[in-house]
Amino acid sequence: MNVVKTLDDLICLRDSLDVFPGSDHPAELVEIKISMATCGIAAGAKEVNRYLAALLEREQIPAGIVQTGCMGYCYAEPTIEVTLPGSEPVVFGYVNNARVDDIVTHYIRQGIMPEDAVWIKDRIQTDGDASPRQLHIALRNCGHIDPENIDDYIRADGYLALGKALTQMTPDEAINAIADSGLRGRGGGGFPTGLKWQITRRAEGSRKYVVCNADEGDPGAFMDRSILEGDPHTVIEAMVINGYCTGADKGVIYIRAEYPLAVERLKVAMRQAKAYGFLGERIFGTDFSFDIEIRYGAGAFVCGEETALIHSMEGERGEASVKPPFPSEKGYKGFPTNVNNVETYANIPAIILKGADWFSAIGTGKSKGTKVFALAGKINKVGLVEVPMGTTLREVIFEIGGGIKDGKKFKAVQTGGPSGGCLTEKHLDLPIDYDNLLAAGSMMGSGGMIVMDEDDCMVAMAQFYLDFSVEESCGKCTPCRIGNKRLHEILQKITSGVGEESDLERLRNLAMVIKDTALCGLGQTSPNPVLSTMDNFYDEYIAHVRDRACPARRCRKLTRYFIDPEKCTGCTLCSRACSVDAIKGERKAPHVIDPILCVRCGTCFDKCRFGAVYVH
């Protein structure tokens, strides 16, 4: 690799790079991309890749294989994208070795789609010229390039934004472009990114720092991890631009050690960036120098908060500090520090290249651009989606996400993770943006979106999220440390069948006090799941305390299993499956469940083929 010294050098390099170096006839190659992110690897993508490569070689089919990051189709892993010469790409899902044989024999050899092929028709736009269902900006390279090959990134206009910023824009001009774009922080509160950069630039300090918050901790959230696994260079490029704009010469990526693949690909990307001169001394031949190091987090949710993250980086306990001063004024080691999360940085190069007007034309009045969501829960198409701000929940859940699993009825969706709230059927046509979600009792958060169906108990759901917040509290302030524990205890009473109606008033009052008095965002938002479920599903709370019943039949201590003697055939399936021998009866005679021995696991309900087991 030769050091790139000018913007013209980079453009010449980009134009000279071949997709498949060494191929005499690249236009005749079959192009194959295989999703090799955490989701794909866990589903068996490595074995599929080995088998596919060996089969193509044995069949003497000229093909080039690129290992990419997540394509977004997590529900269909392993996935591969096949592009025949002169044809549009086709994405195949649920690929195993047998399906590889079909794809090679029928599609690659003959251009015929295999009869039993599972393939994904939706194509995702990566520009702003159309109004597609999905629009990828932060995810523009994920699933398209090899994250461990810097040439792939350069071929996709990588580091052009950095070259443009350093050689054609002043720091103030670059910051103004970010500010005018309307980009807001994608990590939680939605603070204007350009304004944060301006504050850091104006702050006085003998040195300054740029920090990437990659401490993604929400249950069900995997947006930042996927970006780092699929496109690490975009974050590196954006951090260098940030350093140029704010006057920092040092960057730190704070990432949880539980993300080994993302960490490894970041290390590879940093080595490659240094080899080309995009990190280090005199970048693009200018006087600006910048370098990055990685710091590991132990997985504490509270370290997603800026000041707690900085304390952890300094080797201290991950606890939040009273603000002001804000990190932009006094942060890491006491110096001005600009902190943005992974997804925020992933938007920066595109804004610098395409301009503020392009980005601000996407989205809604105060929420510009797109947002990445991790769709999870009771939904058919679990995975990553990126949509323009203003897209409705109905479009995300039922059109992009394919609706609710097993034909069940939609009940609620939790946005914003433990800090957010649940939205119901009446919110399905709500345009997604920062202000609308807050007004509805939830929040954008980092982008987790967990879908629930008719079988979910909303009281138990609130207890689950509060259990998480209690466990993750740093314990520094009393409202969060003790208040959330008391909230959790009340919910335990209610789901155990010993709650009283008076507990509901105490629950709401205590939740409001915690919101008003907790020190940081974790404590201030932790009661949101409780308050939003009480607002939208108060009848379920009443049923738990007044009728001692769980309408969703999920709270074990409020659930009783019975066997209808008219329907029971005495097949003994339920009794053989019962781990505590609570089901008695002779073969071919009606059985009975002993309520004292029964642990209410529901195995008998699942095993019965005749609908004889019922819940009350």
Q: Rounded mean pLDDT of the chain?
A: 92
Architecture of domain 150-360: 3-Layer(aba) Sandwich (3.40)
Residue 311 has pLDDT above 70, yes or no: yes
Instruction: Give every CB contact of residue 410 below 8 A, 6+ residues apart in sequence.
Output: 397, 398, 403, 404, 425, 428, 451, 453, 454
Please report which confidence band the pLDDT of residue 128 belongs to, taking 50, 70 and 90 as the band edges. very low
312-331 mean pLDDT: 93
Q: What is the pTM of this model?
A: 0.92
In the chain, CATH 3.10.20.600 covers 370-453
142-156 mean pLDDT: 96
Per DSSP, the three-state class of 13 is helix
In the chain, CATH 3.30.70.20 covers 560-615
Please report which confidence band the pLDDT of residue 123 belongs to, taking 50, 70 and 90 as the band edges. low
Q: Which tokens hold the place of 606?
A: 């699942």
In the prediction, which pLDDT does 124 show?
A: 65
Q: 579 burial class (0-12, 13-18, 19+ CB within 10 angstroms)?
A: exposed
Confirm if 346 and 227 have CB atoms less than 8 A apart.
Answer: yes
Query: Residue type for 260, please?
Result: P
* Own/partner long-range contacts of 483-492 (Cβ < 8 Å, ≥24 apart): 483/510, 483/513, 483/514, 483/517, 483/518, 483/523, 484/514, 484/523, 484/526, 484/527, 486/510, 487/511, 487/514, 487/527, 487/530, 488/463, 491/459, 491/462, 491/463, 491/466, 491/530, 492/463
Per DSSP, the three-state class of 448 is strand
Confirm if 470 and 481 have CB atoms less than 8 A apart.
Answer: no
CA–CA gap between residue 359 and residue 491 (Å, rounded) = 44
Return the CATH fold of 370-453. Ubiquitin-like (UB roll) (3.10.20)
CA–CA gap between residue 169 and residue 257 (Å, rounded) = 36
In the prediction, which pLDDT does 416 show?
A: 87
CA–CA gap between residue 261 and residue 510 (Å, rounded) = 41
Going by the DSSP 8-state scheme, the letter that residue 2 receives in this structure is P
Q: Which tokens hold the place of 254?
A: 């704070």
C-alpha of 583 from chain center: 43
500-506 mean pLDDT: 95
Return the CATH fold of 458-546. de novo design (two linked rop proteins) (1.20.1440)
Three-state SS sequence of 502-563: HHHHHHHHHHHHHHHHCCCHHHHHCCHHHHHHHHHCHHHHHHHHHCCCCCCCCCHHHCCEEE
CATH code assigned to 26-120 = 3.40.30.10
What would the pLDDT profile of 288-308 be if each residue is shown by its tens digit?
Answer: 999 999 999 988 889 889 999
11-21 mean pLDDT: 85
> pLDDT: is 113 or 372 the higher one?
372
What would the pLDDT profile of 326-359 be if each residue is shown by its tens digit?
Answer: 999 999 999 999 999 999 999 999 999 999 999 9
Q: Return left, alpha or beta for 3; rule: phi > 0 is left, psi -120 to 50 is alpha, else beta.
A: beta
Residue 121 has pLDDT above 60, yes or no: yes
For tokens 């010294």, what's the residue? 5
For tokens 């523009």, what's the residue? 140
In the chain, CATH 3.40.50.11540 covers 150-360
Architecture of domain 560-615: 2-Layer Sandwich (3.30)
In the prediction, which pLDDT does 529 show?
A: 93
In the chain, CATH 1.20.1440.230 covers 458-546
Please report which confidence band the pLDDT of residue 27 belongs to, taking 50, 70 and 90 as the band edges. low
How far lies 477's CA from each of 321, 481, 506, in Å?
Answer: 10, 6, 20
Please report which confidence band the pLDDT of residue 600 belongs to, taking 50, 70 and 90 as the band edges. confident
Determine the number of helices (DSSP H) and then strands (DSSP E) in the chain.
26, 18
In the prediction, which pLDDT does 445 show?
A: 82
495-515 mean pLDDT: 94
Residue 41 has pLDDT above 50, yes or no: yes
Residue 245 has pLDDT above 50, yes or no: yes
Residue 19 has pLDDT above 80, yes or no: no
Residue 473 has pLDDT above 70, yes or no: yes
Q: Report the share of the chain in percent with pLDDT over 70.
A: 97
Lowest mean pLDDT among 15-24, 171-180, 240-249, 532-541: 15-24
What would the pLDDT profile of 196-219 be if each residue is shown by its tens digit?
Answer: 999 999 999 999 999 999 998 888
CA–CA gap between residue 387 and residue 395 (Å, rounded) = 10
Query: What value, to the nearest 5°, has the Cα angle with vertex 65 and ends 59 and 66?
Result: 170
What would the pLDDT profile of 362-372 be if each residue is shown by its tens digit?
Answer: 999 999 999 99
Please report which confidence band the pLDDT of residue 131 belongs to, taking 50, 70 and 90 as the band edges. very low
In the prediction, which pLDDT does 22 show?
A: 59
CA–CA gap between residue 464 and residue 450 (Å, rounded) = 13
Per DSSP, the three-state class of 129 is coil
In the prediction, which pLDDT does 129 show?
A: 45
CA–CA gap between residue 13 and residue 7 (Å, rounded) = 10
